[in-house]
Structure 1
Amino acid sequence: MPTFEPWDIVKVPFPYTDRPVRQRRPALVIAAGDLLTHHNLIWVLMITSAENRGWPTDVVVSDLAVAGLPAPSVVRTAKVAVIDCRDAERLGTLSNADRAAVAAHLASHLAATMHAPPGA
């Protein structure tokens, strides 16, 4: 079974939200650990071409060589997927310089959705 760590960049069959297909594309691992060990799953963020229309929380991949990416790219922090690790292939890793921005956007996304229900 392959092993992956957070910040690894992998190639996976990423699902689309607007059509019932998957396309093999790069993605950033944001959770592995117990998910990987017990369920063979990883949580990933979409990586897309920097030429595409940008989203407010995209993070530019500053070191393409370390990431293993052939063209200017961004991490789309708003698009997360759960992938079977057996379908993933490691390409590289996200540079330390980019990790803080991705982590900040993820924390913001989660804080906006993970609040306690009224009366709790």
Structure 2
Amino acid sequence: MTFERWDVLTALFPFVESTRRKPRPVLVLSGSDFNDAHDHIITAMITTAAAGRWASDHSVTDLAAAGLLRPCVVRWKIFSLPKGTVARKIGTMGSSDRNALSSALDDVMKNPAATTQTH
């Protein structure tokens, strides 16, 4: 299966204390050429931020387009995942979220110190 930048997927994450895995939403940041060539996807965390917010969190404004059922934020915890951990595609970020996230990601990569964590 091919995934595109801005797709929202559920990926199976392991629990530390058991062998179970739980689906969690992630945002695809890499393009389909990279994803297919490497069999990995570069992603960012999507969370409800129930345990606290970071100053750089982006609140998703178009939950329906993203396939999210409750208010969530994109958090700049960036990681690669093997394509085999992806459960399914649930949506795609809406255009206003894509524009804001693209600008925010540029800021993070240019000046990481400006996006410090807050609790």
- Structure 1 and Structure 2 fold alike (TM over 0.5): yes
Structure 1 stretches lacking a partner, 5+ long: 114-120
Alignment deviations for residues 12-42 of structure 1 (CA, whole Å, 9 cap, x no partner): 13579xx698752101001032322211111
Task: Trace 1:89-104 onto structure 2 (pairs within 5 A).
Answer: 89-104=88-103
Confirm whether residue 87 of structure 1 aligns to residue 85 of structure 2. yes
In 2, the alpha carbon distance for the partners of 1:34 and 1:14 equals 24
- The one-letter code matched in structure 1 to 2:43 is V
User: Secondary structure in 1 aligned to 2:29?
Assistant: strand
What is the correspondence of 1:1-120 to structure 2 with a 5 Å cutoff?
Answer: 2-14=1-13, 23-76=22-75, 78-88=76-86, 89-112=88-111
Distance 1:105 1:54 in 2: 16
After superposition, the CA RMSD in angstroms is 2.3
Q: State the aligned residue count.
A: 109
Preserved CA contact (<8 Å) 1:14 1:81? no
Give aligned-pair identity as a percent: 36
* Deviation per residue, 1:32-55 (Å, 9 max, x gap): 323222111111100000544111
1:105 is displaced (CA, Å) by 1.7
Structure 2 gaps of 5+ residues are: 113-119
Separation of aligned partners in 2, 1:35 and 1:24: 23
Judge conservation of contact 1:14–1:46 (CA < 8 Å) in 2: no
Q: TM-score, normalised by structure 2?
A: 0.79
TM-score (ref. length: structure 1)? 0.78
